[in-house]
């Protein structure tokens, strides 16, 4: 009985084991072939991968181009693809060499030791003409193909704005669990993790790779003869292109200037005044692709993050004072005093309103702000909104099934007051008037303010992308110009602001007088903001700004340069602004 019982138990256990094994085999080969295990492994893909030699021509992800159609992320180059089996066959290498105008021995040498398909001439591929491509393909040599192959642009630009992609299994599952479950997306697919790559990721996702495939046995020999297959997604309109508003040539020049002048932290934003589009944007320090979110990874785009503006903010107080008619022609301000009425280290004497703005007298704007706030506590923020300074300024709207779509990865508001009780505290109002205390605005919003003034008061959202294009170049979606909501300034106030900003440069004592040496007339406002921080040498650190537009009388560009956390005597802000304007003359 005991032996029979043990035998029964053994048979049952064996049966259950075999049943489990059969189920496991069925799961692998029949049930979950395209999404196996928690890692969602596509077993069919993996099996094919082990038995094929592949040359990927296009990974399928959409790309970014500049406003003129120049590639910003990757482009398509005419390339010659050679497969390994050629070294074991007789083929007309002389005919190919004749078309390429190279010795046939060079071609034979290039494939002598290869085990995978190659791009001939890589890492510096031979540049083929369209005529050469046509001649090569007419030869119909198995294993020899002249095709347009995707290639990464060597010198990437506008990296903080464009962003980066990388493999991130957890994020793929979080964002696109349904696509993975349906087998339409692999967990290993690179996705956007920063910048416009992240914002437009769903538009850019690949529908599949375009590739040349050659099946081999476990020795690397031909499995089905020497037939090379071409596979590609069925949809001829994809992958798409995102047409940005960036001008690649200008962007490259701005990046060079920023690097050469050693602007360590901060950045530059250049807007096209007519369209309110970003023409160039540079944030420093540069981006570390391998570890962008580390303490020194450079992931911050400082142009999109609120900063302390300093005297640039006096533009708002000036606008409020003009529109509220509290400026009289003969009114003078004691600019020997600081904002608290104490003797200032930088004595400027008795100045009228216009001279006060040009020479950036703190006492004048502290006095005016207190008058304005006593009359109406919300005055300062009201006028900041009229110039689009503290509201999110990036393009926002409906795009297909995306409601409330933001073009920019960060579309943050600024702020003026953190505590409303500060409006009744004279010292707090005085500090606020000169862009200190709790005032925080993004450099992009400051550029938008300058663009608004230069356009005559017309408020617009800022665009970084103009169109989404199909693969064939036709338009899938156009981002139309959109107004910023809210009231605008009167034409009279705008005209007065234009005069004030121009005088900052033309006045012999103006804070922007250095720019008089330029061939192009500039209008703008400087700013020096105390940060309350020190470096290891115990030097006080400041935010140094210059924001303006040019040409002053017929504006084309709005430009903001800001350097953050810099000792005042080491700032290169004006150098950068000067050189950029000079380069665009």
Task: Tell me which residue of 85, 146, 81, 76 sits closest to 118, measured CA to CA.
Answer: 81
What confidence category does residue 152 fall into, taking pLDDT thresholds of 50, 70 and 90?
Answer: confident
Secondary structure letter of residue 164 according to DSSP:
-
Per-residue three-class SS string for 308-377:
CCHHHHHHHHHHHHHHCCCCCCCCCEECCECCCCCECCCCCCEECHHHHHHHCCHHHHHHHHHHHHHHCC
**245-269 burial, b for 16+ CB within 10 Å, e for fewer?**
bbbbebbebbbebbeebebebbbbb
Q: Please give the distance of CA 176 from its chain centroid, rounded to a whole number.
A: 23
Neighbours of 549 (CB within 10 A): 26
How many angstroms separate the Cα of 318 from the Cα of each of 424, 502, 525? 20, 14, 12
Query: What are the helix (H) ranges across 360-442?
Result: 362-375, 379-386, 426-433
Neighbours of 519 (CB within 10 A): 8
- Can you tell me the mean pLDDT for 47-73? 83
The Cα–Cα gap between 240 and 238 comes to 5
Selected catalytic residue, list 210, 241, 283, 311 = 311
563 pLDDT above the threshold of 50:
yes
pLDDT computed for residue 350 by the predictor: 96
**445 exposure class (CB count in 10 Å sphere: 0-12, 13-18, 19+):** buried
262 pLDDT above the threshold of 90:
yes
pLDDT computed for residue 43 by the predictor: 45
341-357 residue pLDDT tens: 999 888 899 999 999 99
What 3-state class would DSSP assign to 411?
coil
Domains of the chain: which residue ranges? 77-152+210-232, 248-288+300-528+535-583
pTM of the model: 0.87
- Are 36 and 27 a contacting pair, CB within 8 Å? yes
381 pLDDT above the threshold of 70:
yes
- Can you tell me the mean pLDDT for 510-538? 95
46 pLDDT above the threshold of 50:
no
- Can you tell me the mean pLDDT for 466-495? 95
- Are 444 and 304 a contacting pair, CB within 8 Å? yes
215-257 residue pLDDT tens: 766 555 555 455 677 777 878 888 999 999 999 999 999 999 9
565: which 2 tokens? Answer: 């956390």
Active-site residue flag, 110: no
Task: Tell me which residue of 411, 410, 412, 419 sits closest to 438, measured CA to CA.
Answer: 419
The Cα–Cα gap between 248 and 27 comes to 51
Task: Tell me which residue of 168, 150, 127, 143 sits closest to 57, measured CA to CA.
Answer: 150
pLDDT computed for residue 318 by the predictor: 98
What confidence category does residue 329 fall into, taking pLDDT thresholds of 50, 70 and 90?
Answer: confident
262: which 2 tokens? Answer: 């050693």
- Can you tell me the mean pLDDT for 29-54? 54
If you compute the radius of gyration of the chain from its CA atoms, what whole number of angstroms results? 32
pLDDT computed for residue 138 by the predictor: 94
The Cα–Cα gap between 491 and 497 comes to 10
40 pLDDT above the threshold of 70:
no
pLDDT computed for residue 21 by the predictor: 67
| CATH number assigned to the domain with residue range 248-288+300-528+535-583, chosen from the 4 options 3.40.710.10, 2.40.50.100, 3.40.50.1000, 3.40.50.2000 | 3.40.710.10
The Cα–Cα gap between 323 and 387 comes to 13
What 3-state class would DSSP assign to 110?
helix
């Amino acid at each position: 009985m005991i032996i029979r019982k043990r035998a029964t138990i053994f048979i049952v256990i064996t049966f259950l084991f075999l049943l489990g094994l059969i189920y496991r085999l069925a799961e692998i080969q029949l049930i979950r072939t395209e999404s196996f295990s928690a890692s969602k492994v596509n077993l069919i893909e993996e099996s094919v991968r082990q038995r094929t030699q592949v040359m990927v021509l296009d990974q399928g992800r959409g790309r970014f181009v500049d406003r003129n159609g120049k590639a910003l992320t990757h482009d398509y180059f005419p390339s010659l693809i050679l497969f390994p089996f050629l070294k074991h066959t007789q083929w007309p290498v002389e005919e190919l060499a004749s078309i390429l105008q190279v010795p046939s021995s060079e071609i034979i040498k290039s494939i002598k030791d290869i085990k995978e398909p190659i791009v001939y001439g890589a890492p510096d591929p031979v540049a083929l003409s369209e005529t050469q491509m046509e001649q090569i393909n007419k030869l119909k040599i198995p294993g020899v193909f002249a095709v347009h192959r995707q290639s990464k642009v060597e010198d990437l630009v506008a990296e903080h704005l464009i962003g980066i992609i990388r493999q991130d299994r957890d994020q793929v599952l979080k964002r696109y669990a349904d696509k993975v479950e349906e087998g339409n997306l692999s967990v290993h697919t690179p996705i956007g993790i920063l910048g416009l790559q992240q914002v437009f990721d769903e538009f850019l996702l690949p529908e599949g790779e375009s590739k040349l495939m050659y099946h081999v046995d476990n020795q690397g020999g031909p499995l089905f003869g020497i037939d090379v297959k071409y596979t590609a997604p069925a949809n001829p309109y994809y992958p798409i292109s995102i047409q940005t508003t960036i001008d690649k040539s200008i962007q490259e020049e701005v990046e060079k200037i920023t690097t050469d002048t050693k602007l360590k932290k901060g950045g530059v934003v250049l807007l096209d005044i007519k369209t309110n589009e970003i023409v160039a944007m540079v944030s420093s320090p540069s981006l570390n692709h391998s570890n962008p979110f580390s303490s020194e990874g450079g992931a911050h785009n400082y142009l999109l993050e609120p900063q302390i503006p300093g005297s640039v903010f006096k533009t708002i107080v000036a606008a409020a004072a003009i529109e509220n008619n509290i400026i009289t022609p003969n009114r003078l301000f004691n600019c020997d005093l600081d904002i608290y009425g104490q003797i200032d280290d930088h004595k400027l004497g008795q100045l009228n309103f216009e001279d006060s703005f040009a020479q950036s007298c703190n006492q004048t704007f502290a006095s005016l702000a207190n008058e304005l706030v006593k009359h109406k506590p919300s005055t300062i923020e009201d006028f900041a909104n009229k110039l689009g300074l503290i509201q999110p300024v990036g393009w926002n709207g409906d795009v297909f099934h995306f409601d409330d779509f933001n073009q920019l990865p960060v579309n943050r508001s600024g702020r003026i007051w953190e505590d409303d009780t500060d409006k009744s505290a004279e010292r707090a109002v005085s500090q606020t008037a000169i862009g200190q205390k709790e005032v925080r605005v993004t450099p992009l919003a400051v550029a938008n303010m300058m663009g608004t003034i230069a356009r005559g008061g017309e408020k617009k959202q800022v665009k970084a992308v103009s169109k989404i294009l199909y693969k064939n170049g036709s338009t899938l979606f156009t981002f139309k110009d959109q107004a910023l909501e809210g009231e605008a300034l009167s034409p009279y106030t705008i005209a007065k602001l234009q005069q004030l900003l121009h005088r900052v440069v033309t006045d012999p004592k103006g804070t922007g007088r250095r720019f008089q040496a330029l061939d192009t007339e500039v209008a703008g406002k400087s700013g020096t903001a105390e940060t309350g921080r020190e470096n290891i040498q115990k030097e006080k650190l400041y935010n140094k700004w210059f924001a303006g537009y040019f040409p002053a009388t017929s504006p084309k560009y709005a430009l903001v340069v800001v350097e953050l956390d810099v000792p005042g005597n080491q700032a290169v802000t004006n150098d950068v602004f000067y050189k950029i304007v000079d380069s665009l003359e």
